[in-house]
Amino acid sequence: MVAKVISGPEVAEQIKQELRVKVAELRERGITPGLAVVLVGEDPASQQYVRNKGKACEELGLYSRTVLLPSDTTEEKLLSVVDELNADPRVHGFLVQLPLPKHIDENKVLVRIDPAKDADGFHPMNVGRMLIGDPLFLPATPHGIQELLVRSGNDPDGRHVVIVGRSNIVGKPVAAILMQKKKGANATVTVCHSRTRDLAALTRMGDIVIAAIGSPRFITADMIGPGAVVIDVGTNRVDDPSAKKGYRWVGDVDFEAVKEKASAITPVPGGVGPMTIVMLMKNTVIAACRANGLVY
């Protein structure tokens, strides 16, 4: 079998169209949804992600602010920036780009964010609400994966989804979302990780396999059952002197080999990444609606 390649940008564009309608309605009422992104330090991949978020805001007519702080910023200073954004009425949602430098306690920063402005959905209150199925904001990458599955004709309902990776950003929340008793979910979920024994035996049982490991081409064709749907969340920047920028993006899946065995597969780039960005935009629009007593 040769897999259908699921286009992230194509599905993201559908959602952008829906957002444009909402943004136009808000702007008629004099409301411009606003997103702020805080970046501490100069990590090149993080810088690119932050630029992607600013560009997406611009494209949809959202107000966007980027706060750039040096890598030696104190935790106290970062917390004061969070306090300012919590209080700023132009900013309906914001996020602090992760990972943070080691001298800053990530959890201390996340609990300081007003849960009503928590565009990434990483505040512990929002994590809890997601888990019980009453979310304020769903985290962008896991929610983007769900939308990508449903809108590409691969509704997880009743299917066995095998997730490889247990991070707070992807593995754990995508498990929670896909196992909810809800439309576009109702999956049977297995979460595997670096300590899983006979990983390949488990991934081969997946109707849907979600790779969120952070290791280039970790998932090989022998780990995938015939006809499975494979979602590659990996964004590994690997040096490539032959590339224009000196690097290229490689997923967690051996795309060329797995494509011959799966029924559908997401590429990197052009798969989950654009979905992450558009779901962040959606969270910003939702936040702006709520701040004005409107339902999304």
Catalytic residue positions?
A: 53, 97, 120
Rule CB under 6 A: say whether 276 interacts with ligand BQF. Answer: yes
Q: Output the six-digit token pair for 278.
A: 């558009």
CA distances from 238 to 210, 216, 245, 250, 252 (A): 21, 8, 11, 7, 12
**Matching residue, tokens 């985290």:** 139
Rule CB under 6 A: say whether 152 interacts with ligand BQF. Answer: no
Rule CB under 6 A: say whether 266 interacts with ligand BQF. Answer: no
The smaller minimum CB distance to ligand BQF, of residues 192 and 277, is found at 277
The smaller minimum CB distance to ligand BQF, of residues 101 and 225, is found at 101
Minimum distance, C-beta of residue 270 to ligand BQF, in the bound complex (Å): 5
**What is the distance between the alpha carbons of residues 235 and 215, in angstroms, rounded to a whole number?**
9
16 to 55: interface string for ligand BQF, x by CB under 6 A: ---------------------------------x--x---
Helical residues (DSSP H) of the chain, grouped into ranges: 8-28, 44-60, 75-87, 106-112, 124-131, 140-151, 171-178, 199-203, 255-258, 272-291
Taking CB positions, which residue lies at the least distance from ligand BQF?
273
Q: Of the listed pieces 67-75, 78-86, 176-184, 265-273, which binds ligand BQF according to CB under 6 A?
A: 265-273
The smaller minimum CB distance to ligand BQF, of residues 139 and 274, is found at 274
Q: Output the six-digit token pair for 5.
A: 């390649």
User: Among residue numbers 222 through 251, which ones bind ligand BQF (CB under 6 A)?
Assistant: 235
**What is the distance between the alpha carbons of residues 292 and 168, in angstroms, rounded to a whole number?**
30
Rule CB under 6 A: say whether 255 interacts with ligand BQF. Answer: no
**Hey, what amino acid is at 205?**
M
Task: Check if the beta carbon of residue 116 is closer than 8 Å to that of residue 136.
Answer: yes
The smaller minimum CB distance to ligand BQF, of residues 61 and 269, is found at 269
**What is the distance between the alpha carbons of residues 234 and 220, in angstroms, rounded to a whole number?**
14
The smaller minimum CB distance to ligand BQF, of residues 223 and 280, is found at 280
Question: Which chain residues interact with ligand BQF by CB under 6 A?
Answer: 49, 52, 235, 268-270, 273-274, 276-277
